[in-house]
Amino acid sequence: MSTLQFHSQPQSRFESDIRFASSTSCSFRPRRPRPLSLHSHSSTSLRPLPRAFSNDPAVTEKPSICTADELHYVPLPNSDWRLALWRYHPPPQAPPRNHPLLLLSGLGTNAIGYDLSPESSFARYMSGQGFDTWILEFRGAGLSVQASNLKELKQSADAVSEQIEAIAKSVANEVSPQKQPTDVSGYLSDSEFYFLREDSIGIGTAWDEAKLVAELTEIFMRLSERLSGFLSESQSRLISTKLLDQISKLLEDSQLSERFEEVRIKLANVLEKQQNSVIASQIRDLSQRLVNIIEGGQRSVSPQFIDIQERLSSTIEDFQKQLDLIVKYDWDFDHYLEEDVPAAMEYIRAQTKPKDGKLLAIGHSMGGILLYAMLSRCGSEGREPRLKAVVTMASALDYRCSKPLKVLLPLADPAQALNVPAVPFGTLLAAAYPLASQPPYVLGWLNDLISAEDMMHPELLEKLVLNNFCTIPTKLIMQLTSAFGDKGLCDRSGKLSYRDHLNKSNVPVLAIAGDQDLICPPEAVEETAKLFPENLVTYKLFGEPHGPHYAHYDLVGGRLAMEQVYPCIVQFLSQYD
């Protein structure tokens, strides 16, 4: 394993951060990225969309949040998801390149982290060096949306863009040191806030027997069908048990408890059987009996039955929301690996037509983990990854030494994952940001996870926090928690460790680490790099004992990244392009 040596003098003035290094050990002259014009037709028009939209009129304007030259959409097979690809064209004076460049973002992030501003844009820098640069936004992130036609796609993308900007403006304009948020509900949608409440039972709604029967029937039918394949049999049993437990609590210490238990046992047995018309009829009958039991209790004069029907209505409504969230956020790490990344790579190949059919790829955090997993999977199956060279930043396959990430471990419990189907990380982080950035800095430690002291301009750090993060499916987090085990990150079955086959890779890799990265410590990056053939891997650690230091996002958007990190990447990729 080799090590690249780069020497540059850090600048303390703001001007140094918008200027490329004029003298490093690299043999090229970087160019200043071009300013963006969001409203010019030349930079805001979508190029022809994939086949799914080939008969639709062209979109003439990008969503305001998109600062790329072009915005493309690629459809996922057997899905209504459309993945957003931000494209950055090289300027005419840039050196010619032979391969397009794909950028992959981290967990729960969008493309903005790679393009924070014209003066701090990794994507613009790479396109300025001649690389036809593309940023993939995974399903559920950024401008990737679920849509069946071009009109619906544009409406959904505009809505996402407006939501991202609204959250940022809300936090930036309305929160002051004297008025800091103590409740995050204002930043969350109804569906996101639902599962964060400790107890939602007790909200009064009008009693409607037919409606309750229909809703209960629908819930149990969906559980019986395993939610279209999302839930395993054991998971389905867990969530149906949770609902029945909540209903049981409404009836405990009453004469109705025994009658309910009889219906509960029959329902549990029915839910485990193969779905058919007879089972559907039984579920409806049992739902009717359950409602009748509670309705009978309502006629009692006992105070314990006051509002019991309303409370049942609220319980059913909350469960419907939870099931909707489970279905909506129905993907894990292997979905990205097997579907999102291959679809994007194939689309980019079709658009750019490299002679050897290969791409260059850079991944930050989870983006780099995906590249590692792809190389491992191809090695285990004897397939060609069709990648010319790979750069990873702050990525590893074994995170046992990362203390901050271990907060995810409770979500590895399937029961907990069903309680919290998705984590609205973006909205929660936006709500917490004032407590991290203003006195008395109650959550100041959050900044240390993102950026080392004095390494990112405050306005860029704020933009990163408020605009870059998205909702994360718990199903995705559950698979990633395998990286804390002895085998390192595994596939969803747990049988294939993605560490095991990296020694079979034939793709050159540059593995970059930051010296003060608490999320992905440098020792984790180095240990993963050692798994590759020694002649194909280069490990580079950024940061000096007395400063400057690099935390997790400084490698991409830190004030010295343009002088120190970016040239290192360009020199490495140029060897293989």
Task: Name the residue ranges covered by the structural domains of the chain.
Answer: 70-146+333-575, 253-329
Task: Tally the C-alpha atoms within 13 A of residue 27's C-alpha that lie toward its C-beta.
Answer: 4
Q: Return d(Cα 189, Cα 204) in angstroms, integer.
A: 21
Cα torsion angle, 519, 377, 4, 392, sign: negative
Strands of 353-417, DSSP E: 359-364, 387-393
Task: Band the pLDDT of 82: cuts 50, 70, 90.
Answer: very high
Q: Could you count the other beta carbons within 10 Å of the beta carbon of residue 329?
A: 20
- ∠ CA 344-429-467 to the nearest 5 degrees? 45
Is the pLDDT confidence value at 195 over 50?
A: no
Is the pLDDT confidence value at 20 over 50?
A: no
Is the pLDDT confidence value at 28 over 90?
A: no
**pLDDT mean over 295-310:** 51
Is the pLDDT confidence value at 310 over 50?
A: yes
Identify which has the larger pLDDT, 246 or 489: 489
Task: Band the pLDDT of 519: cuts 50, 70, 90.
Answer: very high
**pLDDT mean over 206-234:** 55
Name the least confident of 451-455, 471-475, 504-508, 530-534: 471-475
Is the pLDDT confidence value at 44 over 50?
A: no
Q: Return d(Cα 129, Cα 30) in angstroms, integer.
A: 6
In the three-class reduction of DSSP (H, G, I as helix; E, B as strand; rest coil), residue 352 is classed as helix
Q: Return d(Cα 514, Cα 522) in angstroms, integer.
A: 6
**Per-residue model confidence (pLDDT) at position 372:** 98
Q: Return d(Cα 99, Cα 322) in angstroms, integer.
A: 44
In the three-class reduction of DSSP (H, G, I as helix; E, B as strand; rest coil), residue 8 is classed as coil
Q: Return d(Cα 294, Cα 287) in angstroms, integer.
A: 11
Name the least confident of 105-109, 140-144, 420-424: 420-424
Name the least confident of 226-235, 334-343, 390-399, 490-499: 226-235
Identify which has the larger pLDDT, 97 or 49: 97
**Per-residue model confidence (pLDDT) at position 236:** 58
**pLDDT mean over 445-466:** 88
Q: Return d(Cα 561, Cα 548) in angstroms, integer.
A: 11
**Per-residue model confidence (pLDDT) at position 569:** 98
What Cα–Cα distance (Å) separates residue 535 from each residue in 361, 385, 539? Answer: 19, 18, 11
**Per-residue model confidence (pLDDT) at position 390:** 98
Name the least confident of 156-165, 243-252, 310-319: 310-319
Q: Return d(Cα 88, Cα 391) in angstroms, integer.
A: 19
In the three-class reduction of DSSP (H, G, I as helix; E, B as strand; rest coil), residue 90 is classed as coil
**Per-residue model confidence (pLDDT) at position 184:** 36
- ∠ CA 299-301-306 to the nearest 5 degrees? 75
Contact 456, 556 (CB under 8 A): no
In the three-class reduction of DSSP (H, G, I as helix; E, B as strand; rest coil), residue 109 is classed as strand
**pLDDT mean over 252-273:** 61
**Among candidates 264, 296, 288, which has minimal Cα distance to 216?**
288
| Model confidence pLDDT, tens digit, residues 482-496 | 998 899 999 999 999
- The mean pLDDT of the chain is 74
**pLDDT mean over 90-108:** 96
DSSP state of 77: T
Is the pLDDT confidence value at 38 over 80?
A: no
**Per-residue model confidence (pLDDT) at position 312:** 60
Residues 314-317: contacts with CB under 8 Å, at least 24 apart: 314/200, 314/201, 314/202, 314/203, 314/204, 314/205, 315/201, 315/243, 315/246, 315/247, 315/250, 316/212, 316/215, 316/216, 316/219, 317/205, 317/215
Is the pLDDT confidence value at 48 over 70?
A: no
Is the pLDDT confidence value at 10 over 50?
A: no
**pLDDT mean over 279-283:** 55
Torsion from C-alpha of 397, 401, 407, 409, nearest 10 degrees? 60
CATH superfamily of the domain spanning 70-146+333-575: Alpha/Beta hydrolase fold, catalytic domain (3.40.50.1820)
**Per-residue model confidence (pLDDT) at position 427:** 75
**Per-residue model confidence (pLDDT) at position 23:** 29
**Per-residue model confidence (pLDDT) at position 212:** 57
Show the tokens assigned to 133: 């640069």
Cα torsion angle, 356, 357, 358, 359, sign: positive
Q: Express as a percent the part of the chain with pLDDT over 70.
A: 57
Q: Return d(Cα 449, Cα 404) in angstroms, integer.
A: 8
| Model confidence pLDDT, tens digit, residues 112-165 | 999 999 989 999 999 999 999 999 999 999 999 988 877 888 888 888 888 777
Torsion from C-alpha of 328, 332, 334, 339, nearest 10 degrees? 20
Is the pLDDT confidence value at 26 over 60?
A: no
Contact 254, 313 (CB under 8 A): no
**Per-residue model confidence (pLDDT) at position 37:** 30
| Model confidence pLDDT, tens digit, residues 379-420 | 999 999 999 999 999 999 999 888 777 665 555 565 455 566
Name the least confident of 244-253, 341-350, 376-385, 472-481: 244-253
Q: Return d(Cα 315, Cα 199) in angstroms, integer.
A: 10
**Per-residue model confidence (pLDDT) at position 435:** 67
Phi/psi at 391 (5° precision): -125, 130
Contact 254, 297 (CB under 8 A): yes
